[in-house]
């Protein structure tokens, strides 16, 4: 049904996005153009290696991913290069599970083999511009470099360099750069947007000594994303799937991650049935908050 899709996520709302995509998967069978923002690139990585959306969730929820990627900002003094190596090795391990792609795979190879056209929307610090890297504009760019560049964020690693690009977190510049997407047919395009909130009361585990500053960064980021995204979405003349979630920070447990995935599934079903996804999300979140 949809020939183009725009998916974006950061932090724990990747689980909500996966749940929603799982619910609408029948509508994505003919999707060719995948516009990717943030850690949604991991969804594309797993898709290319044969994982369904529900299998991708199982893979990611059990992976001890660095907290700042899934759980929000964590301002501990840690070695950024170690984190880069850790993530790169994990991606290579995913490649080797199926032995279809590897660290030498180029974007043109992905397109030729899968017929899917991946588009990575990133922030280039050298040119001071949003860049759109895809098999047509950058055919010889390595797939693994695009994945690594898309994962930059505060608390993980600040920048990732490849070719003539120095990439940093796109969310710091543009919360919803849909104008950089590749869409071949507006009537057959789906724009997914994560509208999220953050509540320190809903977070568990032991947080760091700068947790109050981390809370404020997340609160301001959520408010900025919510405000600007709604303005942009209201002016988009295409199909929109609004997803609502809470960011999780600290030592998130399996129940919290599973709640995000189930909430995404419910919102995806509400979308298919023409219902309000925000109401569906709030109802489910109330159940979580009020559980004994």
Among residues 147, 71, 167, 163, the alpha carbon closest in space to that of 102 is found at 147
* Alpha-carbon gap, residue 82 to 230, rounded angstroms: 37
Rounded to 5 degrees, what are φ and ψ at 241? -115, 105
**Tens of pLDDT, residues 120-142:** 999 999 999 999 999 999 999 99
From 31-35, 200-204, 254-258, the region with the lowest mean pLDDT: 200-204
Cβ atoms of 156 and 66 within 8 Å: the answer is: yes
Q: What integer pLDDT is reported at residue 198 of this predicted model?
A: 83
Task: Check pLDDT > 50 for residue 272.
Answer: yes
Domain residue extents for the chain: 4-289
Task: Check pLDDT > 60 for residue 288.
Answer: no
Q: What integer pLDDT is reported at residue 246 of this predicted model?
A: 84
Q: What integer pLDDT is reported at residue 292 of this predicted model?
A: 46
Q: What pTM value is reported for the model?
A: 0.94
Q: In this structure, what is the dihedral angle of CA atoms 54, 170, 174, 251, given to the nearest 10 degrees?
A: 50
**Tens of pLDDT, residues 90-100:** 999 999 998 89
* Alpha-carbon gap, residue 199 to 179, rounded angstroms: 30
Task: Check pLDDT > 90 for residue 81.
Answer: yes
Rg (CA), the chain: 18
Grouping H, G, I as helix, E, B as strand and the rest as coil, residue 244 is strand
C-alpha distances in Å from residue 117, one per residue of 6, 12, 113, 133: 12, 26, 10, 11
The CATH class given to the 4-289 domain equals alpha beta
Q: What integer pLDDT is reported at residue 203 of this predicted model?
A: 65
């Amino acid at each position: 049904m949809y020939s183009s899709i725009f998916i974006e996520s950061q932090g724990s709302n990747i689980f909500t996005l996966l749940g929603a995509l799982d619910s609408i998967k029948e509508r994505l069978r003919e999707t060719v153009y995948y516009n990717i923002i943030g850690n949604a690139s991991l969804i594309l990585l797993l898709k290319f290696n044969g994982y369904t959306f529900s299998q991708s969730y199982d893979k990611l929820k059990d992976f001890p991913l660095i907290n700042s990627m899934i759980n929000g900002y964590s301002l501990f003094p840690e070695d950024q290069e170690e984190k880069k190596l850790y993530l790169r090795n994990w991606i290579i391990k995913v490649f080797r599970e199926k032995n279809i792609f590897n660290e030498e795979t180029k974007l043109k190879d992905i397109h030729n083999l899968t017929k899917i056209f991946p588009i990575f929307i990133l922030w280039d610090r050298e040119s001071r511009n949003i860049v759109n890297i895809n098999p047509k504009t950058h055919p010889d760019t390595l797939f693994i470099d695009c994945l690594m560049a898309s994962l930059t964020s505060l608390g993980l690693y600040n920048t990732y360099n490849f070719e003539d690009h120095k990439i940093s977190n796109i969310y710091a510049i543009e919360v919803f750069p849909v104008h950089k997407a590749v869409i071949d047919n507006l009537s057959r395009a789906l724009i997914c947007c994560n509208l999220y909130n953050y509540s320190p009361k809903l977070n568990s585990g032991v947080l760091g000594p700068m947790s109050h500053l981390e809370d404020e960064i997340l609160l301001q980021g959520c408010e900025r994303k919510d405000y600007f995204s709604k303005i942009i979405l209201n002016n988009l003349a295409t199909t929109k799937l609004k997803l609502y979630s809470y960011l999780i920070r600290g030592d998130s447990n399996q129940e919290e991650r599973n709640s995000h995935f189930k909430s995404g599934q419910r919102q995806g079903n509400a979308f298919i049935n023409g219902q309000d996804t925000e109401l569906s999300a709030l109802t489910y979140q109330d159940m979580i908050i009020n559980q004994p």
